[in-house]
Amino acid sequence: MNKKLRNNIFLKISILLIFIINSFCLKAQTDCEIKLADGINMPVCYGEEISMSVTYDSNCSYQWMKNGIAISGENSFYLTTTITANNIKYSVVVTNNQTQEECSDEIIITMMNQFDIEFEQTQLTCSNNKAENGQNAKVIATATGEGFDRFVYEWGSDFGENVWTNPSNPQEAIGLKAWKEYYVNVTGITPAGDSCTQTATFTPRAYPNPKLEIVSTPKDTAYIQNPYVTFGFEGEVDLVEHNSWSWAFFNNPDNNGEISITSILDNPVNMYQQVSKEGNPYRVELNVKSAEYGCDTTFSANIIVLPVKLKIPNIFTPNGDGINDYFIIDNDPSFNTEDENSENTRGFEYESYNILNDYYLRTELTIFNRWGRIVYKSDDYQNDWDGGNLPDATYFYVLECIGEYDNHRYQGSVTIFGSGR
């Protein structure tokens, strides 16, 4: 065989090999068959994620399409997608990058019908003004949809609590709390045995709680030398079952969770024996039962008990201008501490002045002139002395304060100035 013939044969063999290699992609994938991933069976469920693929070859490129429209960026030999509609056509075009020859395949994805889940709360629950309270709500879930033979219900919660169901009706969840979110997984089963599961959530409601407010006299703050506080409540009183309430008083400053006294009176009077420690108030709770639903509801309020040290002015100006016209004795706002004998740096906001009966059980005021003669006397002084007809001068006072635990005596001088008398 001469050299020319030999080269010609070699050339033909080389061309044939190149043709075989370039066409291998199409021959290896004779019809570019699309295959679903293992475990995926049709019809699929709404929202189900599925994967499909063709045989991979490095010499080929791929383009996936949905209903004949190219899917941007889907150029791999596989496709992963979420199904949200029935009878969607997916197809792929496989191109040999050297010969530009193409093959394609398509698949129709069928999906089961969705079904509806509706809830009916058949029994409300008491909540006691707290989301975690009340454990007797009942809710029925009902699923409906075409093409299903039956439905299976499974109740649960995401806050770690088991959910009980009615033994004779698994659609009904019982013993639920108010204002907590529960879920139900419903599996719809077709006559052919296909099944899909959907999830829905529900938050049980509670009976309305009466809107009440605890009121007290004095309000918010009491003083240790007159430690009696009268309590009551106001608001939607008509919604409260008559004579169905109880009071709890937490009077131990070292244990604010300990109930010291209880009462079933309409307006109980509580007596405090110690000042509040470190500014921590005493708690009061009122538990009432609603007349319509029989639900218990608890309300709370706080009372601060402070010591007393009076602030007594050394001058007042009874000239009728409405400013400093009376001999006003009030609590010293710079002295509100646990120890009546210590100086205090914690201030306390209060009205312009309070009646002295807020501080002591009774206060007796006696005013003397410079010669020791009594010119004014009150056995229950209420900050109402304007100097009477006395002329401008300096006078002397003795204030006797009778308290629950101690009696205090104050004495000093006060000047009437600018009266024009």
Q: What would the DSSP string read from start to end of 236-253?
A: SGGGEEEEEEEEEEE--T
Asked which of 202, 221, 238 is the last residue of a domain, the reply is: 202
Domain final position from 161, 176, 202: 202
- Identify the DSSP state of 126: -
Is 421 among the domain residues?
A: no
Q: Are residues 302 and 371 in the same domain?
A: no
Any idea what the CATH number is for the domain that residue 227 is in? 2.60.40.10
Enumerate residues 6+ apart whose C-beta is below 8 A from 76.
62
Whether residues 96 and 17 share a domain: the answer is yes
- Digit-coded pLDDT (tens) for 140-160: 999 999 999 999 999 999 988
Same structural domain for residues 292 and 363?
Answer: no
Mean pLDDT value across residues 357-385: 94
Compute how many other C-beta atoms are within 10 angstroms of the C-beta atom of residue 241.
15
Shared-domain flag, residues 247 and 314? no
Residues 121 and 59 grouped into a single domain: no
Task: Judge if 185 and 216 occupy the same domain.
Answer: no
- Residue 207 domain flag: no
pLDDT in tens, 306-342: 998 889 999 999 998 888 999 999 887 666 544 444 4
Q: Phi and psi (nearest 5°) for 172?
A: -100, 120
Q: Are residues 7 and 95 in the same domain?
A: yes
**Average pLDDT of span 66-76:** 96
Does 130 lie in the same domain as 70? no
Q: Kindly state whether residues 22 and 90 are assigned to the same domain.
A: yes
Amino acid at 334: S
Alpha-carbon distances, residue 409 vs 105, 363, 401, 402 (angstroms): 106, 10, 6, 9
Q: Are 211 and 246 in contact (CB under 8 A)?
A: no
How many angstroms separate the CA atoms of 325 and 317, rounded? 5
pLDDT (0 to 100) of residue 271: 96
User: Is it the case that residue 77 has pLDDT exceeding 80?
Assistant: yes
Which residue has better confidence, 260 or 343? 260
User: Are 314 and 382 contained in the same domain?
Assistant: yes
In-domain check, residue 8: yes
At 421, the pLDDT band (50, 70, 90 cuts) reads confident
* pLDDT for residue 9 is more than 50: no
Residues 126 and 160 both lie in one domain? yes
Query: 7 and 105 share a domain?
Result: yes
Report the alpha-carbon distance of residue 273 to residue 251 in Å, rounded: 8
The number of distinct structural domains making up the chain is 4
- The domain of 29 spans 3-109
Specify whether the backbone of 313 is left (phi greater than 0), alpha (psi in -120 to 50) or beta: beta
Whether 334 is in a domain gets the answer yes
Domain boundary among 109, 143, 178: 109
Closest CA to 398 of 373, 354, 370, 364: 364
